[in-house]
């Protein structure tokens, strides 16, 4: 299951998220989204956990938890919608 994590401190690194989420099960990947210009975190990330039961428990228990001084928001990631391509 792909999990969306927001309101992250700019100091949070992949290992911090692996440490938090691996308490609930296997973490197969972490992707902190970086700004292309500044190469600084944009404050959100995606965590992939292969077992849905473990992922659901992590979402329930980590949503609103404090990480590096900020209260994070944790939800199941939604499928990215393609933008409407209309011709003028």
pLDDT tens by residue, 34-61: 999 999 999 999 999 999 999 999 999 9
Q: Where do the H-state alpha helices sit in the chain? A: 14-21, 52-62
pLDDT score, position 10: 94
The CATH number assigned to the domain with range 2-71 reads 3.30.70.330
Rounded Cα distance, 76 and 54, in Å: 12
Each residue's pLDDT tens digit, 17-28: 999 999 999 999
How far is C-alpha 82 from the chain's CA centre?
A: 20
Residue 67 has pLDDT above 50, yes or no: yes
Q: Produce one character per residue of 2-31: b if its CB has 16 or more CB atoms within 10 Å, e if not.
A: ebebeebeeebeeebbeebbeebbebeebe
Residue 21, SS3? helix
Rounded Cα distance, 69 and 80, in Å: 29
Name the residue ranges covered by the structural domains of the chain: 2-71
């Amino acid at each position: 299951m792909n999990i969306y994590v927001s309101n992250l401190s700019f100091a949070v690194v992949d290992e911090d998220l692996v440490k938090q989420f691996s308490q609930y099960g296997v973490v197969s990947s972490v992707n902190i989204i970086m700004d292309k210009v500044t190469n600084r975190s944009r404050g959100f990330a995606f965590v992939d956990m292969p077992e849905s039961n473990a992922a659901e428990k992590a979402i329930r228990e980590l949503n609103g938890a404090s990480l590096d001084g900020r209260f994070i928001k944790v939800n199941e990631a939604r499928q990215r919608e393609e933008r409407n391509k209309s011709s003028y």
